[in-house]
């Protein structure tokens, strides 16, 4: 069976690697000739709006999925008129625009930071009066890994940020002084069977995820699962959905959702009975879901910018290295390491060693 994937980056590559034992081949559409997924499946090179390429993808694949949020809407419509597309394009339409996303959270009773749409300078002033300072000004679309957003502490920040970002539709959010950031990776199949991985605690630096640790039995689990279930059911969702939250006290506040496999779920590759990548493929192809329980204490460290020496990484007990085959570049995710350990103390020790290697690369 062939699964078409919009995008040929590392998420597409890991989907393809997970598909191989199941006899599932991934076919990627990506404009970049050396897209890193190409070593794990066939690459159709073309723009995401190239109608001939989209038709080839639809013709050859039994189902099409995607690895990023900014797939053009017209392309999804064209694909969906020819082949099954999962998750449903309406999930993507919501997730690609931070304002629509937060509106949906609010409509479903999922708490969010206070937010307002900002198109004009007057909107910004009204917005700051409504949400207070500090606040975060973000582009509504195309933002990822902390790009397209500024924290506003004072009037000068607000002026500078507005001048820098005002070419795009914007959203102003209240700044949440959170205790920690967590995410929930959920998966739902075509029949509505729903599974959740353990809540994951995440650390970001400059807006980029640097470390995730699975937290089985976390006291916030029920709240996170309740919120994610509302989204899955409302969207008639099929596939993996990631929901990112800020935790403050005993409350979860939703930041964003990703209708795809997610960086904070990479620990599941070696750390869970069935990885998020395999479960996403199972869900979109109509196969039964696999168990999501962790196999041990588990976590992940990202390699951002450059890779450390493989030998140093693999000398850490329980470490499993994943190299994406991407050229090093500041701020670019070039690989990660998952780690499995017999207990919490050993896990923390291994993660500290791996984080030090990542920082010194
Ligand atoms: P995002 O692209 O919205 O996921 O933002 C990237 C990171 O910026 C988040 O993981 C947080 O660490 C931080 N951040 C984003 N929005 C807020 C907010 N409203 N309050 C506090 N921190 C935020």
Question: What mean pLDDT is reported for the chain?
Answer: 96
Rounded distance, CA 220 to CA 232, Å? 18
| pTM of model > 0.85 | yes
- State whether the beta carbon of 181 lies less than 6 angstroms from ligand 1: yes
Q: Which helix (H) or strand (E) holds 70?
A: none
Question: Atom 19 in ligand 1: which residue has the minimum CA distance?
Answer: 175
Please, what CATH class does the domain formed by 114-174 belong to?
alpha beta
Q: Which ligand 1 atom is nearest residue 178's CA?
A: 21
Helices (H) and strands (E) in the chain, counts: 12, 18
Question: Residue 291: exposed, middle, or buried by beta-carbon count in 10 A (0-12, 13-18, 19+)?
Answer: exposed
Q: Report the chain's terminal Cα–Cα distance, integer Å.
A: 40
Cβ of residue 133 lying under 6 Å from some atom of ligand 1: no
One fold for both 114-174 and 180-360? Answer: no
The rounded radius of gyration (Å) of the Cα atoms in the chain is 20
SS3 letters across 320-355: EEEECCCCCCCCCEEEEEEEEECCHHHHHHHHHHHH
pLDDT value at 145 more than 80 = no
The alpha carbon dihedral of 37, 39, 43, 47 has a sign of positive
Of 328, 335, 331, the residue nearest 306 (C-alpha): 328
**Could you tell me the distance, in angstroms and rounded to a whole number, from the CA of residue 306 to the centre of ligand 1?**
24
Rounded CA gap, 341 and 345, in Å?
9
Nearest atom, ligand 1, residue 98 CA: 3
Tell me the CA–centroid distance for residue 101 and ligand 1, in Å: 14
Query: Pairing mode, if any, of strands 180-188 and 200-205?
Result: antiparallel
Q: Is 136 in the pocket of ligand 1 (CB under 6 A)?
A: yes
Query: Phi first, then psi: what are they for 305, rounded to 5°?
Result: 95, -60
256 lines ligand 1 (CB under 6 A): yes
Mean pLDDT of 189-218: 96
Cβ pair 351, 317 in contact under 8 A: no
Domain 2-85, CATH among 3.40.50.20, 3.30.230.70, 3.30.1300.10, 3.40.50.2300: 3.40.50.20
How far, in Å, from the CA of 358 to the mean position of ligand 1?
22
**Is the pLDDT at 126 greater than 80, yes or no?**
yes
Report whether residue 204 contacts ligand 1, using a CB cutoff of 6 Å.
yes
pLDDT, tens digit, 9 for 90 and up, residues 193-204? 999 999 999 999
Ligand 1 site, residue 175, Cβ cutoff 6 A: yes
Instruction: Flag the least confident range among 152-161, 243-252, 277-286, 319-328.
Output: 152-161
Which of 300, 299, 282 minimizes the C-alpha distance to 290?
Answer: 282
Q: What's the pLDDT at 142? A: 84
Q: CA-to-CA distance for 314 and 354, rounded, in angstroms?
A: 10
User: Residue of the nearest CA to atom 17 in ligand 1?
Assistant: 175
For residues 242-261, average pLDDT: 98
Average pLDDT of the segment spanning 244-255: 98
CA contacts within 13 A on the Cβ side of 10: 17
Class of domain 180-360: alpha beta
Domain residue ranges in the chain: 2-85, 114-174, 180-360
pLDDT at 148: 87
**Four-point Cα dihedral 84, 86, 88, 91, nearest 10:** -160
Model pLDDT for residues 10-46, shown as the tens digit of each residue? 999 999 999 999 999 999 999 999 999 999 999 999 9
Q: What is the mean pLDDT of residues 212-235?
A: 98
**Beta bridge partner(s), residue 180:** 247
Query: For residue 143, is pLDDT > 80?
Result: no
Tell me how far the alpha carbon of residue 235 lies from the centroid of ligand 1, in angstroms.
24
pLDDT tens by residue, 302-360: 999 999 999 999 999 999 999 999 999 999 999 999 999 999 999 999 999 999 999 99
Residue 172 has pLDDT above 80, yes or no: yes
HSE-up (13 A, CA, CB side) for residue 284 = 32
pLDDT value of position 206: 87
Any ligand 1 atom below 6 A from CB of 58: no
């Amino acid at each position: 069976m062939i699964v078409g994937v919009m995008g040929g980056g590392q998420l597409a590559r890991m989907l393809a690697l997970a598909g191989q034992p199941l006899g599932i081949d991934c076919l990627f559409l990506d404009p970049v000739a050396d897209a890193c997924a190409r070593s794990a499946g066939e690459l159709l090179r073309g723009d995401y709006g190239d109608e001939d390429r989209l038709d080839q993808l639809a013709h050859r694949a039994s189902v099409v999925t995607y690895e990023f949020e900014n797939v053009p809407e017209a392309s999804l419509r064209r694909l969906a008129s020819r082949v099954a597309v999962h998750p449903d394009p309406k999930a993507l339409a919501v997730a690609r625009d931070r304002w629509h996303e937060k509106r949906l959270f609010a409509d479903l009773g999922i708490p969010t930071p206070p937010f307002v749409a900002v198109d004009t300078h007057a909107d910004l002033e009204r917005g700051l009066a409504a949400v207070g300072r500090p606040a975060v000004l973000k582009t509504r679309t195309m933002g990822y890994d902390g790009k397209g957003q500024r924290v506003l502490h004072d009037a000068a920040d607000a002026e500078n940020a507005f001048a820098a970002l005002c070419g795009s539709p914007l959203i102003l959010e209240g700044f949440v002084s959170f205790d920690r950031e967590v995410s929930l990776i959920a998966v739902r199949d075509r029949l509505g069977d729903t599974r959740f991985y353990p809540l994951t605690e995440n650390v970001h630096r400059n807006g980029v995820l640097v470390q995730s640790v699975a937290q089985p039995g976390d006291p916030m689990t029920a709240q996170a699962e309740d919120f994610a279930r509302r989204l899955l059911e409302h969207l008639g969702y099929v596939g993996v959905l990631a929901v990112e939250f800020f935790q403050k006290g005993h409350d979860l506040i939703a930041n964003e959702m990703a209708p795809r496999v997610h960086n904070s779920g990479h620990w599941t590759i070696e750390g869970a009975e069935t990885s998020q990548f395999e479960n996403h493929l199972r869900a979109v192809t109509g196969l039964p879901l696999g168990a999501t329980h962790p196999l041990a204490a588990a976590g992940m460290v990202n390699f951002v910018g450059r890779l450390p020496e493989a030998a140093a990484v693999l000398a850490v007990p329980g470490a499993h290295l994943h190299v994406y085959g991407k050229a090093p570049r500041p701020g670019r995710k070039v690989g990660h390491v998952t780690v499995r350990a017999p207990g919490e103390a050993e896990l923390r020790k291994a993660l500290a060693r791996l984080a030090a290697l990542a920082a010194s690369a």
